[in-house]
Amino acid sequence: EKALEVRQLKKHFHLGKGSTLKAVDGISFEIYKGETFGLVGESGCGKSTTGRVIMNLYDPTGGEVVVNGKNVFRLQGEEQFQLKKTMQMIFQDPYASLNPRSTVAEIIAEPMEIHGLFSSRKEKMKRIYELLEEVGLNRDHANRYPHEFSGGQRQRIGIARALALDPEIIIADEPISALDVSVQAQVVNLLEQLQEEKGLTYLFIAHDLSMVQHISDRIGVMYLGHMAELTTSSELYTNPLHPYTQALLSAIPIPDPDVEDEREQVIIEGEIPSPIDPPSGCVFRTRCPMAMDVCAEKMPVWQEAEKDHMVACHMYDNDVNGVWTTKDKAK
């Protein structure tokens, strides 16, 4: 069952003088109830913008986001207000996203007050204590201020606030990237435990494949506003099809020093081009070691190259210029 569907989503920013930044340029994916979907790519690929458009923090340029069968961009008034309970966001920098002048109790209470959930202060405090305990803090923390906490604890406060309205979907935008490595695993464990208890659906945004490998059921890889590849986590790591994914994966060291690294190194050269003036055809072609003539002429189609394995790359077209059949060429 689908929790969230993103269809041909676009977000362009008009910068004046006729130039347009195509931050997200027609991506599609779906997230099933109770799963963790990892959305991965280098900075500037459009992954955070995607999260923010889904949350309705930015207006979309085109496309649809469907939650519980409803197009969220078409909702208005009460329906839109209610939808805000369904989806909540956790941010990369827990410090920047917490008001320094509010106590922890005030921070956590805010969304609940906006939605008018309480009839008494006693009821409100009970719920705040409950939420603090759910994220591994306790009631003694309620009257303290964000600066009194460590980075990991602050992220726990951000998580408590996100849970306050009992959401179904949580969009986590690089929730552990700003934390010490020693704390990252604790926060990931907490998120996993909460998912199990509450049946939450996660969209987990990260810049690094190694960060989402273990927690994601499925992963989408983005490059320059486009989706390059999407499949299950295990399939992506064992059988990456897109040259960009192959390059990202070959940059991750094999953790066990006794295992010899026999993978072919795929090195990508150069910088990410500007999304203001992206390359013609395949947006990855300026850095792709496999680029062919057709890559400059035609944008590759987003297609299912293997079962439950989507990719946008001409190597997997069945007929490029009538010359060859792909999958043979790719292998």
Cβ closest to ligand SF4, residue 161 vs residue 285: 285
299 token code pair: 């944008």
Region 31-60 residues binding Mg ion, contact defined as CB under 5 A: 48
Cα–Cα distance measured from residue 273 to residue 324, given in angstroms and rounded to the nearest whole number:
29
Backbone angles phi, psi at 63, to 5 degrees: 95, -175
Cβ closest to Mg ion, residue 276 vs residue 296: 276
User: 152 contacts which partner out of Mg ion, ligand SF4, none, CB within 5 to 8 A by kind?
Assistant: none
User: 203 contacts which partner out of ligand SF4, Mg ion, none, CB within 5 to 8 A by kind?
Assistant: none
Cβ closest to Mg ion, residue 275 vs residue 300: 275
Cβ closest to Mg ion, residue 78 vs residue 271: 271
Q: Which residues contact 205 (CB under 8 A, 6 or more apart)?
A: 38, 39, 40, 47, 48, 50, 51, 171, 172, 173, 174
Listed residue (278, 284, 324) closest to 300, CA to CA: 284
Cβ closest to ligand SF4, residue 199 vs residue 289: 289
Binding site for ligand SF4 (CB under 6 A): 242-243, 282, 284-285, 288, 290-292, 295, 300, 313-315
Cα–Cα distance measured from residue 124 to residue 21, given in angstroms and rounded to the nearest whole number:
44
**Least distance from ligand SF4 to the Cβ atom of residue 298, Å:** 8
User: 156 contacts which partner out of Mg ion, ligand SF4, none, CB within 5 to 8 A by kind?
Assistant: none
User: 282 contacts which partner out of Mg ion, ligand SF4, none, CB within 5 to 8 A by kind?
Assistant: ligand SF4
Backbone angles phi, psi at 15, to 5 degrees: -100, 5
Q: Which residues contact 141 (CB under 8 A, 6 or more apart)?
A: 104, 132, 149, 153, 157
Listed residue (194, 202, 163) closest to 31, CA to CA: 202
Please check whether residue 5 is in contact with residue 65, taking contact to mean a CB–CB distance below 8 angstroms. Answer: yes
User: 48 contacts which partner out of Mg ion, ligand SF4, none, CB within 5 to 8 A by kind?
Assistant: Mg ion
Cβ closest to ligand SF4, residue 259 vs residue 267: 267
**Least distance from Mg ion to the Cβ atom of residue 51, Å:** 8
Please check whether residue 97 is in contact with residue 110, taking contact to mean a CB–CB distance below 8 angstroms. Answer: no
DSSP code, position 299: P
**Least distance from Mg ion to the Cβ atom of residue 9, Å:** 16
User: 315 contacts which partner out of Mg ion, ligand SF4, none, CB within 5 to 8 A by kind?
Assistant: ligand SF4
Kindly determine how many residues on this chain lie close enough to bind Mg ion according to the rule CB under 5 A.
1
Residue 75: exposure state from Cβ atoms within 10 A (0-12, 13-18, ≥19): middle
How many Cα atoms within 13 Å fall on the side-chain side of residue 21? 11
Cβ closest to ligand SF4, residue 175 vs residue 281: 281
Q: Per DSSP, what are the bridge partners of residue 33?
A: none
Query: How long is the chain?
Result: 331
User: 24 contacts which partner out of ligand SF4, Mg ion, none, CB within 5 to 8 A by kind?
Assistant: none
Cα–Cα distance measured from residue 154 to residue 92, given in angstroms and rounded to the nearest whole number:
11
**Least distance from ligand SF4 to the Cβ atom of residue 64, Å:** 26
* Residues in touch with Mg ion (CB under 5 A): 48
